Chains A and B, each alone.
Chain A
Amino acid sequence: MAIFRNPFDHRFRLSSKGCSCGQHGSEAEHAAAAADGLAASSDETLRLRRSVENAVMRALFPVDEQRRNFLKVVGASTAYAAINTLFPIAAATDVLAQGAPLEKKDLKVGFIPITCATPIIMAAPMGFYSKQGLNVEVIKTAGWAVIRDKTLNKEYDAAHMLSPMPLAISMGVGSNAIPYTMPAVENINGQAITLAMKHKDKRDPKSWKGFKFAVPFDYSMHNYLLRYYLAEAGLDPDTDVQIRSVPPPEMVANLRADNIDGFLAPDPVNQRAVFDGVGFIHMLSKEIWDGHPCCAFAASKEFVTTYPNTYSALLKAIIEATAFATKTENRKQIAEAIAPPNYLNQPVTVVEQVLTGTYADGLGQIKRDAKRIDFDPFPWESFAVWILTQMKRWGQIKGDVDYAGVAKQVFLATDATRLMKEAGLTPPTTTTKTFSVMGKVFDPAKPEEYIASFPIKRI
């Protein structure tokens, strides 16, 4: 291909007659002769640079003879240097490599040190951000409220959030209403109910009356799943037990101090409680709802519209990281990348047990469940509808809710579809699906009937 030839070589012809170097009758003959030539180069950046250089040289020397004479006289390196001062070839190559120019390259992305944030975190040490030409600093943050405030303040360009948070922020529940978007789910499953060791004989939730539980945040899947699980066992989560919101890092300390009886928390908190002999894993959240979303990658609508190319590159990096994390054979490598103090700050074995799904349950058994945590970026709109039904069920939102409308506005399924295709994943063809939670089927088309069907609710 002539376009990938070195245009600073006077022996090559840039026009398409005969072969590119002029020594052979046709391009095919030339290719056979120059198997080790640039035509065989598989290096993508070199190819990109060649095509930029070619465009520049063709523009400067419309007649190819002139170019070849010029190069013969001054030499290739002098010519390259002279032309590079007129036209920054390297910069132009960068731009081409990224598709469209990035409006902003230095980004700050906030995260909470839990394994749900795996794609966001691993994309930094494993180079998924830099591959998109982004310079992303991932900043560890103390809690969900702080991450919300720092994102609303624009200290962070985008952040790791709990998937109900962008919905809550967009509707102005628990904060000022600011249009928010959630273009990708980070992980599915990956949470667990952990109980203190002293309760190891109380495995039936009906015997949990009077327990004190911790969840990471009021607007979290953890809260809704725990409430759902308790209510299915006949306990009223508001009157029969106490549920408080405790930042994940403080949960194990509180469990050890006997301040709480258990928690439904993200990992590595559950596994850390087991690791330190403080608690045992009662059940994985996967057993409540297999494939439930948990955390999400979120950005303000303003960021999405002001920096469309940056947003697209960032989302692409996250989706590619997610695709990498989906493969179980990569999980050990990821655990090593995200366990150090700069990221999760946990012993590697704890993170590894979470990601590989081969784990100690705290009661002396080794369990194996490769889907303990999984990664699937697609933001199903029906997930949003389910979350909204639970918000309404527990009185966090009141009155009429435009379920489908809010879901469509916040969960950006179309962007995810496009970028998932580019990352080599197969996105689903629809944006809603039915699923069942503890055996009860949820139909996203009938949210109100779904809420009405529960005996325990706050409406």
Chain B
Amino acid sequence: MRQTSLRLRAGIVSLGILLIFGLAWHLAVSGSGPTQQMDPEYAKLMGQTAVQGKSAMPGPLDVLVKIWSHLKEPFYDRGPNDKGIGIQLAYSIGRVLLGYGLAMLVALPLGFLIGMSPLMARALDPFIQIMKPVSPLAWMPLALYTIKDSSISSIFVIFICSLWPMLINTAFGVSSVRKEWLNVARTLEVGPFRRAFTVILPAAAPTIVTGMRISIGIAWLVIVAAEMLVGGTGIGYFVWNEWNNLSITNVITSILVIGLVGMILDQALARVARAVSFPE
């Protein structure tokens, strides 16, 4: 009972914050600045910002109207440079999942190896330490030059940025499995494969999934920047194209959409994390 009411109250406060923010935003941009006297023929050639002193920043209502127009028609395709926001999102999510999937295929086995073998852990450590802090976008020119395909290059950038958190967390999770459990497994003469899958994996799973959750967050951050850089398709290209048109309304719309998708991806992995966690 008490929890429900807390949830309810939190919801009301959230709504209140949203309303106040929306109102403040609306008031801040609705006033029109000083207007100059202009020849009507000249005024026809100018934009509203210049003629009516309208703020260049759109109001919350403009954004809502824009969002509605995108929701009404998310999958239109009017040529290679003008596709609906739904198609752009599908391209971005596709790239993220591909790059992320590849990173998983590499990071999980390699992380296991590093976690189980102190020798490999020490040997690979300097490489990981140097590569980890590199901004994934710094790889972009190199990728473009060697892979010679911009779409695969952005998938590669996603791969490289989601690799490190998964790798490090897997290694850490595997190496910190409690010694008692391993000893019990040894006394029961469990084979190495069975030990890896029935003892180590479940024990390390919460840490591994945490790494995966960090990775998907980073991957979603990076794809937008990567697509802004190479263009073509994807939500990042959409933002760039609308910026090109100085359409702040569309830019705000896509910021909201990017946030929403990022949240969904994160929540999906949060569910996985809850499923694999265990009380000690």
A→B interface (CB under 8 Å): 113, 124, 137-142, 146, 149-150, 153-155, 249-250, 252-253, 256, 272, 274-277, 340-343, 345-347, 349, 353, 359-360, 364-366
A146-B230, A249-B244, A366-B39 provided; 11 other pairs, C-beta below 8 A?
Answer: A141-B231, A146-B150, A146-B229, A153-B148, A153-B150, A155-B150, A341-B78, A343-B81, A345-B82, A349-B44, A364-B38
* B49: chain A residues within 8 A (beta carbon): 276-277
* Chain B stretch 23-44: residues in CB contact (< 8 A) with chain A: 36, 38-39, 41-42, 44
The closest CB in chain A to the CB of B45 belongs to: A360
Contact between A347 and B230 (Cβ–Cβ < 8 Å)? no
Contact between B241 and A345 (Cβ–Cβ < 8 Å)? yes
* A149: chain B residues within 8 A (beta carbon): 141, 144-145, 150
Partner of A360, one of B46, B141, B150, B232: B46
B→A interface (CB under 8 Å): 36, 38-39, 41-42, 44-47, 49-50, 56, 78-82, 141, 144-145, 148-150, 228-232, 237, 240-246
Say yes or no: A341-B82 contact (C-beta < 8 A), given A141-B231, A347-B47: yes
* B241: chain A residues within 8 A (beta carbon): 140, 341, 345
Say yes or no: A276-B231 contact (C-beta < 8 A), given A154-B148, A253-B243: no
* B56: chain A residues within 8 A (beta carbon): 256, 276
A198 CB, nearest partner CB in chain B, Å: 15
* B245: chain A residues within 8 A (beta carbon): 341, 345-346
The CB with the most chain A CB atoms within 10 A, among B145, B149, B244, is that of: B244
B30 CB, nearest partner CB in chain A, Å: 18
Partner of A341, one of B38, B42, B45, B81: B81
Q: Provide the bound-state CA to CA distance between A112 and B39, in Å.
A: 34
The CB with the most chain A CB atoms within 10 A, among B36, B38, B228, B231, is that of: B231
Contact between B42 and A366 (Cβ–Cβ < 8 Å)? yes
A288 CB, nearest partner CB in chain B, Å: 24
List 11 A-B pairs, Cβ < 8 Å. Answer: A149-B141, A153-B150, A155-B149, A276-B47, A277-B47, A341-B81, A342-B81, A345-B241, A347-B47, A360-B45, A360-B46
Contact between B42 and A140 (Cβ–Cβ < 8 Å)? no
Partner of B45, one of A138, A142, A276, A349: A349
The closest CB in chain A to the CB of B77 belongs to: A342
Contact between B232 and A139 (Cβ–Cβ < 8 Å)? yes
B67 CB, nearest partner CB in chain A, Å: 17
A141 CB, nearest partner CB in chain B, Å: 5
The closest CB in chain B to the CB of A252 belongs to: B246
* B42: chain A residues within 8 A (beta carbon): 360, 364-366
Say yes or no: A276-B246 contact (C-beta < 8 A), given A137-B80, A347-B47, A364-B39: yes
